[in-house]
Amino acid sequence: MSWQPKILNRQQQEERRLEGCRLLVEGMMSQADIARHLHVSQVAVAKWKQRLDEHNGDLQALRASHAPGAAPLLNSQQWQQIKQMILAGAKSSGFSTERWTLRRIRQTIRQRFGVDYSKAWLSIRLRALQLSVQRPESSSRRKDDALAEAWLSKDWPRIKKSVRTWRRHHVR
């Protein structure tokens, strides 16, 4: 049994700890060998052994404890609903434009779920949902596409040609 991911969830950490304790109880491997086998430090294995000794070899002492902190306000299914809402567009949520902002997302979550998140925490959660910041394309309000195309096709080649001719005669 080998744990390779860089980040383990709480259940995987518990499995690794219990496997290490099983190996300690068997006594077939040294603490250093167990540490290498499970990709942990020797200090971690020593702490596991100390806890085992304190609890007379009871493996229950090494089970995962309850995660500290407050319970999440929204569950994963609700976060998926939020992701679908964002992907559906801001207009479908009653806004006048398709542009989502953190303020609009906060407002919508507050209305639908009765939960208020800070902008900082909300941006972290949205990144966890693999949603990224989208910046609208900017374009000039006075832009005339036909005029720009005419300049590129007629004026620019003439200007470019005259610069080449000027350089040929004046730069030495």
pLDDT in tens, 118-159: 999 999 999 989 888 776 667 777 778 888 888 888 888 888
Q: What count of other Cβ atoms lies within 10 Å of the Cβ of residue 132?
A: 8
- Is it the case that residue 101 has pLDDT exceeding 70? yes
Among 67-76, 91-100, 138-147, the minimum mean pLDDT is found in 138-147
Residue 66, pLDDT score: 73
Among 2-11, 84-93, 114-123, 125-134, the minimum mean pLDDT is found in 2-11
- Is it the case that residue 107 has pLDDT exceeding 90? yes
Helices (H), 39-118: 42-54, 76-88, 102-113
User: Can you say whether the dihedral through the CA atoms of 59, 61, 62, 68 is positive or negative?
Assistant: positive
- Is it the case that residue 171 has pLDDT exceeding 60? no
Residue 111, pLDDT score: 93
